[in-house]
Amino acid sequence: MFERSYLDKSFTVADPDARVRQAGNLMAFETSGGTIKTIAQSTVIRVDAVERLQAGANKVSLFARALKEDGTPHGWTSTNNLQGKFVNETLELIEPPSGSGKFGPNAAWSHGAYVGQIGLVEVVDARTEIERIAVDTVEAYLKMVDAAKLSGVTVAINSGFRSYPEQKILSDGFEKHLPGFNKAAKPGNSNHQNGIAFDIAVAGADGNEVYDWLKRNAPGFGFVRTVSGEPWHWEYDPPRAQQAVQNHTYKIPAVSE
Ligand SMILES: [Zn+2]
C-alpha cells in the first residue's frame, strides 16, 4: 500500500529566512505586525500536507504545511527551506485514468509492445522537480535511498517513468541531433516506459561517491546497470541483480563500460 513518505518523519528548517505563506494564497506571505512571519532556522517540524504551484512549463514549486511537535501549525512554507529540500519524498499515487489507452500517461511498454496500465508514484527528483516511478518499485527504491543516506550519500533520480509521448520527444530530439538530447530508445522500447529504469544523478562515474556507493550496494537492493556507457541508468531487476551479486559485479554481462 502506498503511503506518502513525508507523513512519518521530521524535517529540519535549513533556510535562515523560511517565510510562512498564506494558507489560501501560497504566492503571498503571512505577516504579523507588518513583518513577514518566518520559521526559525533549525526548527524541527512535521509535515501533514503538501501543495504545489506551477512555476514554469515543466516546473512546480512545492509547499509544505509545517506543524510544531505538539501538532499546532507553523504554517505553509517552501519545501526548499527544509534540509534535503524534500528530495525523494513521495507525493501522490497516480492511478491510470479510466479508459486511457496505450499512449496514455500510465501506459507501460516493453520491447516495442504495450503491456498494460500501471500505478505511478510522484517522487521529488535530484533537481527538486517531480518524477514518477512505478508503484511496484517505490519500496525497493526508497529502501536503497535510506541505506545510502545512512552512509551520508544522497541517491536521487533525474528521470523515472516516461509515457509514450514523453519518450517520443526524447527519441526525436536525439535523432534530430537537437542540443541537450542524449541517446534515447525509440518510443515503446525504453525501460523507462515500464517502471524498471531509473536514471540516478551520479555526476560522472568512477570516483563519484554516489556511483561508487551504487556499485557496492545497488545490486543488493535489486538494482543493476544494464546499458553500456550510461553509468546513470540502473534497472530494478531482482533476478539479474542477484546474478550480479553472485558474480561480484554491479552490471549485466552485456555492459562493457
Ligand atoms: Zn535511463
pLDDT per residue over 18-74, tens digit each? 999 999 999 999 999 999 999 999 999 999 999 999 988 778 999 999 999 899 999
Cα(227) to ligand 1 centroid in Å equals 8
Which of these CATH numbers, 3.40.1280.10, 3.30.70.360, 3.30.1380.10, 3.30.499.10, describes 90-246?
Answer: 3.30.1380.10
Task: Compute the distance between CA of residue 51 and CA of residue 214 in angstroms, rounded to an integer.
Answer: 32
Average pLDDT over residues 177-202: 95
**pTM assigned to the model:** 0.94
Task: Compute the distance between CA of residue 245 and CA of residue 31 in angstroms, rounded to an integer.
Answer: 56
CB environment 149-178: b (16+ within 10 A), e (fewer): eeeebebbbebbbbbbebbbebbeeeeeee
C-beta of residue 184 within 8 angstroms of C-beta of residue 177: no
Cα(184) to ligand 1 centroid in Å equals 8
Cα angle: 32, vertex 38, 41; to 5 degrees: 155
Residue 77 confidence (pLDDT) = 98
Mean pLDDT of the chain: 96
Share of the chain above pLDDT 70, in %: 100
Residue 219 has pLDDT above 80, yes or no: yes
Average pLDDT over residues 212-222: 98
Report the run of H or E that residue 172 belongs to, with start and end.
helix 164-175
Task: Compute the distance between CA of residue 257 and CA of residue 248 in angstroms, rounded to an integer.
Answer: 16
Cα(192) to ligand 1 centroid in Å equals 6
The three cell numbers locating residue 97: 485514468
